[in-house]
Amino acid sequence: MPTKSKLPTSEGKVLIELKNVDKWYGGFHALKDINLSVRKGEKIVLCGPSGSGKSTLIRCINHLEKIRGGTVTVDGRVMGETAKSVEGVRRDIGMVFQSFNLFPHLRIIDNCSLALRRVKKMPRDEAEKAARKYLDRVHILEQAEKYPAQLSGGQQQRVAIARALCMEPKAMLFDEPTSALDPEMVKEVLDTMIELARDGMTMICVTHEMGFARQVADRVLFMADGEILEEATPQEFFSNPKHERAQAFLGDILGHQ
């Protein structure tokens, strides 16, 4: 199979493609001419200083942010052309947020089965069965009947992962999934994400967990000021960052580790 990229996992079809994406917040140019293609099964880690546009970039993929220029294509669907394309793409892409965003008035099992029942029109018993399967997969099945507030942050984030997995997405977006967690809970969430990566899920993660990046990423993308400044394998990126902004960034975050 012909491959264009020198990077290791370049086989498989392109699942997510951003072409010349521009995003403005008023007069602030948040994303500048972003080009990125993600193949099926690839794991991408996005890092960079705060305000560099990492979160904005992944939020453009499922249209939580509207772009001004360029195109986002997910599994052949051009995003944002119609309301249907937006809902279709969102069904295909799971997202995990920094602040978990579980629904506080619904039990864990209902948090997970809601979208199956409403979007996929699954009957309740079938939806709950599927939800239990994914709760088991993130090792939290015994909490199914509780409410989000009764769980720890780490447990809530694992539920959020299960909730996204229930929709059987083709790719998962992680927006700083461990930043809001107490240090002792970071590991359980990262372990869950690593298991997911091993199972072959296509993942784009905005994270500062460099250990995680080293372990699972096929590519690390470094962003600053709304641009992708560097793109490399984790080995290359951590041992020999080329861009001076990347060197400074790594110096800052690795200095204390």
The residues near 177 (Cβ < 8 Å, ≥ 6 apart) are 96, 97, 98, 157, 160, 161, 189, 193, 205, 207
**Shortest spacing between CB 193 and another protein, in angstroms:** 17
| Closest to 66 (Cα-Cα) out of 116, 2, 6, 23 | 23
Question: Interface with another protein includes 114 (CB under 8 A)?
Answer: yes
Q: Supply the DSSP string of 188-222, one letter for each residue.
A: HHHHHHHHHHHTT-EEEEE---HHHHHHH-SEEEE
Nearer to another protein, 91 or 133 (CB): 91
Stretch that binds another protein, among 48-56, 161-169, 226-234, 245-253 (CB under 8 A): 161-169
Residue pair 164/115 in contact by the 8 Å Cβ criterion: no
Question: Interface with another protein includes 153 (CB under 8 A)?
Answer: no
Burial class of residue 219 in the structure, from the number of CB atoms within 10 Å of its CB (0-12 exposed, 13-18 middle, 19+ buried):
buried
Per-residue contact string for residues 40-79; x = within reach of another protein by CB under 8 A: ----------------------x-x---------------
Question: Interface with another protein includes 119 (CB under 8 A)?
Answer: yes
Residue pair 65/71 in contact by the 8 Å Cβ criterion: no
**Of 19, 91, 139, 214, the one binding another protein by CB under 8 A:** 91
**Shortest spacing between CB 129 and another protein, in angstroms:** 18
Question: Interface with another protein includes 154 (CB under 8 A)?
Answer: no
Residues that bind another protein (CB under 8 A): 62, 64, 87-88, 90-91, 93-95, 97, 99, 101-106, 114-115, 118-119, 147-150, 160, 163-164, 167
